[in-house]
Amino acid sequence: MIRDARVLRAGFVPREVEHRESEVTLLSSVLEPITNDEPADTAIVTGPSGTGKTCVSKFVTERLREEVLDIKTTYVNCWRNYTRFRTLYQILDELGTTVDIHRQSTPHDELIDRLQQHDGPRTVVILDEADQLEDPSVIYDLHSLPQFGIICIANKEEELFGRVDDRLVSRLRSSEHVRMDKYHDEQLYDILSARAKWGLNEDVITDDQLYQIADAAAGDARLAIGILRTAASTANRENCERITDGILQNAAEDARAQIRQKSLDSLTPHQRVVYDIVRDHAPVGPSEIYDRYTEEVDDPRTKRTVRTYLSKMEQYNLLKAEGTSRDREYLLVDSATASPRQ
DNA sequence: GTTCCACAGGAAAATATGGAGG
DNA sequence: CCTCCATATTTTCCTGTGGAAC
């Protein structure tokens, strides 16, 4: 059934990247100077989730390493390492020079000094989810160190530029910018098809089913591969030789349910009360929601705040609103047809 | 038509929260 | 442990919209 599970895992970097040739070429050319021991420009990679930003970045740096031996790559997930300290620490750690650095006793500039003195092989630093950095000036600090090439990955350009000071913006604006768009269904099909070919035995899944996954994933390759992985492991567990339409249906729903659960977990207690009211009484109008809400909690927020809650949950695709004015009603999004938010 | 009222959602002020540094 | 600062959340105030009653 499953030939190679690694191929289906999130974060796997394939031997060939599908439909991102021009992006790969552009990113390679930006980093090219580093192969001649010259300072490379900073590259900015932006695009919605599941468009291959991380994948292309890792692919390009790995290929660089195959061509030129003495190049290192460090990958930092800025969402997990969101402070300046943790980001720099992570880089030093991967370079293997973190001895005797402690949170309390080590001044922050010490970390930059150490990076500055780093005279090992040229290094490409991938800053994934760079828009999550609480202090984006760390990009500026790294930018000024000639021995490091930087790839900044972010969802939206504005969110990255919005918070950094002007001198950095002007320097980043001149750097090369790689934009990635959502995949089309045919492109997703090609990606899935390649993964299925390497990861699964023959005839486990039909082309038609791959198209169904592509359709359900709405341009998000990570979600698409997640659905394929879930379907394959379910079929494996149930000793099926092929992935049935039923298994596929469930896998797609599981993937959506996981996204839904993640959204639900991010709600505050007050927001959760509002959600439960809509779930239990839908379809329901705004004033009834607010009346029930004030009954339910001891220190209710104002109507305006509840309206913000409702529109936030609408954005998260947990609820939908019908009608525009006095006839407005809120109800749950039908989970069978819900598409992940973007 | 006109008026009324519930409603949506923007802007800005006020307030709560969390984290760094003393 | 406390203070101060930055950020996020909430409230206040507001404008515009459209259905319903008159």
CA of A64 to C1' of B18 (A): 42
Q: Give the tens place of pLDDT for each residue, A5-58.
A: 888 887 888 888 888 888 899 988 888 888 887 877 788 888 877 888 899 999
Q: Give the span between the Cα atoms of A33 and A31, in whole angstroms.
A: 6
Q: Give the span between the Cα atoms of A253 and A339, in whole angstroms.
A: 10
Q: Give the span between the Cα atoms of A39 and A17, in whole angstroms.
A: 26
Q: Can you tell me which residue has the tokens 């019908």?
A: A322
Q: Which residue is nearest to nucleotide C20 (CA to C1')?
A: A326
Confidence of residue A158 (pLDDT cuts 50, 70, 90): low
- What phi, psi does A11 have (nearest 5°)? 95, -5
Nucleotides of chain B touched by protein CB (<7 A) = 5-11, 20-21
A201 SS3 class: coil
CA of A204 to C1' of B2 (A): 68
Q: Do residues A213 and A246 touch, judged by C-beta distance below 8 A?
A: no
For each of the domains in chain A, give its residue range(s) and CATH number, in order of start.
20-179 (3.40.50.300), 185-263 (1.10.8.60), 267-337 (1.10.10.10)
- Is residue A102 scored above 70 in pLDDT? no
Q: Give the span between the Cα atoms of A135 and A115, in whole angstroms.
A: 18
Q: Which nucleotide C1' is nearest A288 CA?
A: B6
Q: Do residues A260 and A335 touch, judged by C-beta distance below 8 A?
A: yes
> Is-above-0.85 flag for pTM?
no
